[in-house]
A and B are shown apart, each in its own frame.
Chain A
Amino acid sequence: MGLIRSHVLVCAGTGCVSSGCKMMQEAMQQALERHGLSSEIKVVETGCFGFCKEGPIVMVYPEGTFYCQVKPEDVEELVSEHLLKGRIVERLLYKEPVSERAISLFNDIGFYQKQQRVALRNCGKINPESIEEYIARDGYQALAKAVTQMTPTQVIEMVSESGLRGRGGGGFPAGRKWEFARVAQGDIKYVVCNADEGDPGAFMDRSILEGDPHSVVEAMAIAGYAIGAKQGYVYVRAEYPIAVERLSIAIKQARELGLLGKNIFGSGFDFDLGIRLGAGAFVCGEETALLTSIEGHRGTPRPRPPYPAVKGLWGKPTLINNVETFANIPVIILHGPAKFKSIGTDTSPGTKVFALAGNINNTGLVEVPMGTTLREIVYDIGGGIPGGKAFKACQTGGPSGGCLPAELLDTPVDYDSLTAAGSMMGSGGLIVMDEDNCMVDVARFFLEFTQDESCGKCVPCREGTKRMLEILERITNGEGVAGDIELLEELAEVISRTSLCGLGQTAPNPVLATLKFFRDEYEAHIYEKRCPAGVCQALLSYAIVAEKCKGCGLCKKVCPVDAISGDLRQPHTIDKDKCIKCGACVAKCPFKAISR
């Protein structure tokens, strides 16, 4: 094998696969062959870079040039210019949203500047299907250290000392969970990885499994050693085929090298892993429902106590952590808790991965130190709100979370600050909303999700969320009545205090949080029959403001139902009986002359 002078990293995460990276990569191989470069330039498929909006992403090393939205037809130029002649192809570089400045180096891009990648350390850096590349990045050293140099208690002490908290949403101290599972009585114990990522828009766990599956395999083996388990299961959604495939490959490779199986590192410690596919029920992300599902039953939660650490899978003591939590473990074991604690805040050390979505310029996956403020995430990393619109709210914590208004943009993201502010960390969904979002409608949307995903076992969640949703639908349909807000509040209180599991207990949060910060919008809907954001169709009434209308006729042309009439250069009018409130006229009017 000759010397490789350049590496071309092609993102092969689900996002980039969807935007066509496979075709582009094929074109790349062909182009390299055409130019006789295949022996000196290596194309590597990696996991997710996080900047999904800009995919397919290509990164050229050693320069570290970051190319975005590379299509098959761009490849020839990229090869002949950059790889052959060393000239950067400017038009494929990332451009800052505001300044439009093209940036060639990964680390200079605002999106990455404030990020610190711990859990995602190998994503976008290595080929996830190569155990050698993982090992080259210190992979499996933590496992070696744990099983050959440390006692189980020392491992758990280290995890406890790091202050790592569960990244799945609850934020429970991982070390304590491990310790509970270690001291629990039982000849057979299990380690389970919760990869049933269900929050709409959240995909950090998928990205880790796709981009760095060995980090989870290694961490689970460490956990098995620490609590005395010989078997682990990864419960992963069947809708994540790439993650499942790469994880299967990783497990197979680890077995081949003796990193899973009998007598790992000659220590006498045995551990193996199996994959269990989830059928896509949101509630199966709840740990007891997940375990019930693995056991082959309908995935519904069981009452706690007993907690899984005492009586979990098949009644045996079980440690269950989510993917991102596990991904942090090898780093903690290898580099020590002090280094981990140097990142983040006192009560929430380390980093957190967020899935940035909504009305924001840079959508994608970001990993930031705990304590980074929402403002930094939204503006510095996310590049602000598109189209010059005003920021309205930030939804964190997924469907069980809450919405924080502009006044709270300086809230640091860590478990306790978000909870104190009236939202929650959750698994890391972060949806940005601008002035065009109706908060009642947002609450309705999230409740629609939870009531649909409720398992139906307990009454408050099954029946209560249905009634809350009905009330919200009434309000957004302009049929809200006095007392609706109070009834919502009462239901929210009862549902959250009496539901069997976390799904029900947190289901009312979107309503409570929007009521807390945007109560006036609810009141406008109910009492004034008005949707301030102009979203709720039933409450909209389109009219042309005569003083602003120049009579250009564009609205008349675009109206699909001929509801607009008027002579050229004369103010137009809308026939309200014909109008279907589609909003096409508003979007077209150059003079903002149409009110709703």
Chain B
Amino acid sequence: MERIKLTIDNKPVEVEAGTTILEAAQKIGVHIPTLCYHPELRLEGACRICVVEVEGLRNLVASCVYPVADNMVVKTNSESVRRARKTVLELLIANHPMDCLVCSRHGECELQDLSRQLGIRQVRFTGGKRDMAVDESSHSIVRDPNKCVLCGRCVRVCAETQAVSAIGVANRGSSSIVTTPFNKGLADGPCVGCGQCINVCPVAALREKDDTERVWGALHDPQAHVVVQVAPAVRAALGEEFGMRPGSLVTGKTVTALRQLGFDQIFDTQFAADLTIIEEGHEFIHRLKNNVNLPLITSCSPGWVGYCERFYPEMLPHVSTCKSPQQMFGVLAKTYYAERANINPANIFSVSVMPCTAKKSEAAREEMQSSGYRDVDAVITTRELASMIREAGIDFANLPDSEFELPMGMSTGAGTIFGVTGGVMEAALRTVAEILDGEELPSLEFQQVRGFAGVREATIRIAGQPVRIAIANGLAHAKRLLDSIKAGEAEYHFIEIMGCPGGCIGGGGQPLSTDPEIRMHRAAALYRQDMLKKVRKSHENPAVKELYRSFLGEPNGEKAHQLLHTHYQARSRY
């Protein structure tokens, strides 16, 4: 590769040809502010915040897209650069509501950060501002075009990472907006509610539907018996909201915080994850033995299920009929738990804390009422739980640890790793292999299925038979995998698909970041937790065994089917 020598702010730097000025500057510690730039997405060069001066060029250039050239002399802080950058930012701010004090992204806003960094002290432009309706049609995502800075990051992540394209830019000039097909509500388009757009949005133009007030309402209601479940990926990320290092495992602190918030029973979604493995494992064994509807595809991720319903309805028979752990938990909380605790299920308010925005829509699906009530009453994201903890004045980072309640707080390491791509597959293999082989596995770590590549595949020998498996994370990768199956280029027995990059740890409800490195830290935390667990196989979870013995009967049996399984339907995209 050809090497290029240039100077940036009088510092020499040598980089490969094709490098952008921004990347070259980052190499030598020169910080250039950016806005529309996102390292994971296609380059846009639209916001012009990152403009720099290149000697010999009349115009300033966008450093995020401009390639370096030999002997180039770049200035990132000349007078004209500073002036231009500030004016461009001032123009952006002039068309922004500036309601920072009451904004959900206050303190976490890139526009605010830029304004502070560039020292904007006044906005001289006083004309019109965008004034449009806020789209609250979706259970998962709120879209506020008035706050939008049109950086296009959401549009790109939705198209490139998720292959959904639920939003795009419409109109021209200052009437440009990010909107949905035919300006319908997000709920009436192809949106699957994954929330990746929220994670890349620099402002509060995209945010989760806030359900914290409903949860507070239940907590303050003396009649309500409020139970809560916590998804695995939450404990690997919640600490970030309180200044803790990415990858900090905060399971015990989370339980303590929830108790302090006033929840009556604090349970673990991982219990239901173990249950899912039993049900899905038996479903897989059944399909494998009878060779029907293979490959079996997991159904834990509501982003993926929504995608399949809208984009690959012909694949729906392959999707496991198992409800997701959240919904299995929900139905059991109002049946099994209610019975055991002798509580009228009508008085139970069931909350789930999820790394996911699509879970909010999942809980609202009309078929999710097998208990006779809405199975999960409210879903809050990791971020929303953090805001409740802040509001309650709880010093999270210094909380002591405490334990989940029994029986639905008991879980295995297999349930823990549900939170990371490949984890459901690994958990299922631990159970399926032992059932089919009839003997204990020598090693529980299926390294073949771990990692972060978008699509991974492996062949595992179970009971002497090769079982072809595949794993996809991020819907664009899922699309690639499904297309190869449809084209007859690949054949599998079992597939795990997670809607978000990295699986749930990279979910749309997690602390704001799309940094792959942070995702890796979160994943490592879950694998660490798995190693620390005494029981690491779902079928060995004593609480789950007891559940079958005293309540459900046989895996995939009649009662299990009635409560724990569901169906899907093709949905129109437009």
Selected contact of A498 from candidates B60, B66, B92, B175, CB within 8 Å:
B60
Indicate if the CB atoms of B168 and A500 lie closer than 8 Å.
no
B66 / chain A contacts, CB cutoff of 8 Å: 303, 305
Selected contact of A456 from candidates B47, B49, B174, CB within 8 Å:
B174
Indicate if the CB atoms of B87 and A458 lie closer than 8 Å.
no
Indicate if the CB atoms of A494 and B87 lie closer than 8 Å.
yes
B80 / chain A contacts, CB cutoff of 8 Å: 497
- Residues of B with Cβ closer than 8 Å to A? 43-49, 51, 58-60, 62, 65-67, 80, 83-84, 87-88, 91-92, 94-95, 124-125, 127-128, 150, 152, 168-169, 171-176
A457 / chain B contacts, CB cutoff of 8 Å: 44, 46, 150, 152, 169, 176
With A303-B43, A303-B66, A497-B80: A455-B172 Cβ-Cβ less than 8 Å: yes
A246 / chain B contacts, CB cutoff of 8 Å: none
Closest to B53 in A: A497
Selected contact of B84 from candidates A303, A467, A487, A497, CB within 8 Å:
A497
Q: How far is the CA of A459 from the CA of B35 in the complex (A)?
A: 11
Closest to B45 in A: A303
What's the nearest-Cβ distance from chain B to residue A464, in Å?
A: 5
With A451-B174, A487-B124, A494-B88: A467-B60 Cβ-Cβ less than 8 Å: no
- Residues of A with Cβ closer than 8 Å to B? 281, 283, 298, 300, 302-303, 305-306, 451-460, 462-467, 470, 487, 490-491, 494, 496-500, 505
B49 / chain A contacts, CB cutoff of 8 Å: 459
B60 / chain A contacts, CB cutoff of 8 Å: 497-498
Indicate if the CB atoms of B59 and A498 lie closer than 8 Å.
yes
* Interface SS of chain A: helix
Selected contact of A463 from candidates B44, B83, B169, B174, CB within 8 Å:
B174
* Interface SS of chain B: loop
Indicate if the CB atoms of B84 and A463 lie closer than 8 Å.
no
Indicate if the CB atoms of B150 and A298 lie closer than 8 Å.
no
What's the nearest-Cβ distance from chain B to residue A499, in Å?
A: 7
Indicate if the CB atoms of A454 and B67 lie closer than 8 Å.
no
A467 / chain B contacts, CB cutoff of 8 Å: 91, 94, 125, 127
Indicate if the CB atoms of A458 and B46 lie closer than 8 Å.
yes
With A303-B62, A303-B65, A462-B150: A456-B168 Cβ-Cβ less than 8 Å: no
What's the nearest-Cβ distance from chain B to residue A328, in Å?
A: 28
Indicate if the CB atoms of B46 and A500 lie closer than 8 Å.
yes
Selected contact of A466 from candidates B43, B59, B83, B173, CB within 8 Å:
B173
B47 / chain A contacts, CB cutoff of 8 Å: 458-459
What's the nearest-Cβ distance from chain B to residue A282, in Å?
A: 9
With A303-B43, A305-B67, A500-B46: A456-B169 Cβ-Cβ less than 8 Å: yes
Q: How far is the CA of A157 from the CA of B62 in the complex (A)?
A: 35
What's the nearest-Cβ distance from chain A to residue B297, in Å?
A: 31
Indicate if the CB atoms of A456 and B150 lie closer than 8 Å.
yes
B43 / chain A contacts, CB cutoff of 8 Å: 303
What's the nearest-Cβ distance from chain B to residue A448, in Å?
A: 10
What's the nearest-Cβ distance from chain A to residue B175, in Å?
A: 7
Selected contact of B48 from candidates A453, A496, A499, CB within 8 Å:
A499
Q: How far is the CA of A300 from the CA of B127 in the complex (A)?
A: 26
Q: Can you name 6 extra interface pairs (CB under 8 A) apart from A457-B152, A466-B174?
A: A456-B171, A467-B127, A494-B84, A498-B84, A500-B46, A505-B59
Q: How far is the CA of A591 from the CA of B111 in the complex (A)?
A: 62
With A303-B45, A303-B65, A459-B48: A453-B172 Cβ-Cβ less than 8 Å: yes
Indicate if the CB atoms of B172 and A456 lie closer than 8 Å.
yes
Selected contact of A454 from candidates B44, B88, B173, CB within 8 Å:
B173
What's the nearest-Cβ distance from chain B to residue A470, in Å?
A: 4
B152 / chain A contacts, CB cutoff of 8 Å: 457
What's the nearest-Cβ distance from chain A to residue B114, in Å?
A: 12
Selected contact of A500 from candidates B45, B67, B84, B124, CB within 8 Å:
B45
Closest to B125 in A: A467
Indicate if the CB atoms of B173 and A460 lie closer than 8 Å.
no
